[in-house]
Amino acid sequence: MFGFMAVMKVVGVNNASKFCGKLARFVGPKTPLSNRARRNLEISFPEKSSQEITEIITDMWENLGRTFGEYPHLDRFDAYSGTGRITTKGGEIVDQIQTDGVGGIFFSGHFANWEVLPLSVSGRGLKGAEVYRAANNPYVDQWILRQRSENVFPTQVPKGAKGAKKLIEVMKANEHICMLIDQKMNDGISVPFMGREAMTAPAAAQLALKYKCPLIPVAIERTNGAHFEIEVHPPVTFDPTGRRSEDIEALTTKLNEWLEQQIRKTPSQWLWLHNRWPKT
């Protein structure tokens, strides 16, 4: 893998993205994982034909391949440079969060190349941490962590109990967190997502309610090849009742609703490979 990535680094970001996208577009739909993607899509879009779902799956694999090919080039991405690689809307919202005296939680899902999410924060000079899920292979995990910490966000915090203490430190310091909130969490809470109940991590809602900090949605869209549009949305509005469990459930549901809107907008740019819904 490391030799392959070295080659991808040499050929440049556009060629690496294009090659890996084409490779994944050809190979991905033939793998068993595509069966899970198809099932998830049939659950979420019962109105779509088999051919439409096949096209979404094929495009999803291309997007995933492009994301893989772009890893050695994370140093080429800048959310605010104006070079044309990334166009960012809502930078003024990030600036407001920076000056309000409390930390903020910037969240999104596995859209387009999700690794560019923290650039909307770090590119404005905000300090804090990025939450990540460790790769199964420890060598691959260390390589990816190095790419992220050197080129995207310096502080990386693993999901789960191991990283919980660090997240609390970040919140108490009125710094900021970037996190993807669309994966299944078996010991999470069951709330609606894409029309069905789904076990969902409540951490974003829990932290926001505990530390009275804003939750800022960030949309990411691949516009053309290795080019993206990031849009930082205004903070989620929510009026807590003071009943902790009910508030966490209601706020988590609201975050899922935002994710669903983004998924339905560009379904081929979301990662449908997660085991998101229980089999029935």
Q: What is the pLDDT of residue 2?
A: 66
Q: Residue 231 above 70 pLDDT?
A: yes
Sole residue written with tokens 């996190």: 179
For the residues 32-60, what does the mean pLDDT come to? 96
Between 46-55, 91-100, 118-127, 144-153, the lowest mean confidence (pLDDT) is in 144-153
Please say whether the beta carbons of 106 and 117 come within 8 A: yes
- Inter-helix orientation angle 203-211/161-172, to 10°: 30
Nearest to 226 by CA among 69, 22, 88, 79: 69
pLDDT tens per residue across span 237-271 = 999 999 999 999 999 999 999 999 999 999 999 99
Other CB atoms closer than 10 Å to residue 19's CB: what's the count? 16
Between 19-23, 129-133, 200-204, 234-238, the lowest mean confidence (pLDDT) is in 129-133
pLDDT tens per residue across span 65-115 = 999 999 989 888 888 887 778 999 999 999 988 888 888 999 999 999 999
Contacts of 202 (CB under 8 A, 6+ apart): 188, 189, 248, 249, 252
Please say whether the beta carbons of 227 and 124 come within 8 A: no
pLDDT band at 36 (very low <50, low <70, confident <90, very high): very high
Q: What is the pLDDT of residue 191?
A: 96
E-only strand ranges, 111-244: 128-132, 156-158, 176-180, 184-193, 196-200, 215-222, 228-232
pLDDT tens per residue across span 59-68 = 999 999 999 9
The single-letter DSSP state of residue 69 is H
Between 33-37, 161-165, 211-215, 250-254, the lowest mean confidence (pLDDT) is in 161-165
Quick one: how far is CA 130 from the chain centroid? 11
Nearest to 258 by CA among 237, 240, 230: 237
Higher pLDDT, 154 or 54: 54
pLDDT tens per residue across span 166-190 = 888 888 899 999 999 999 888 899 9
pLDDT tens per residue across span 130-170 = 998 877 778 777 888 888 888 888 888 888 777 888 888 88
What's the pTM value of the predicted model, to 2 decimals?
A: 0.93
CA distances from 102 to 97, 137, 180, 208, 233 (A): 8, 36, 20, 11, 18
Q: Residue 279 above 80 pLDDT?
A: no
- CA atoms 256, 202, 242, 245: torsion sign: positive
Please say whether the beta carbons of 183 and 201 come within 8 A: yes
Nearest to 259 by CA among 183, 175, 186, 207: 183
- Inter-helix orientation angle 33-44/50-70, to 10°: 120
Higher pLDDT, 164 or 205: 205
Question: Tokens standing for 181?
Answer: 């909130």
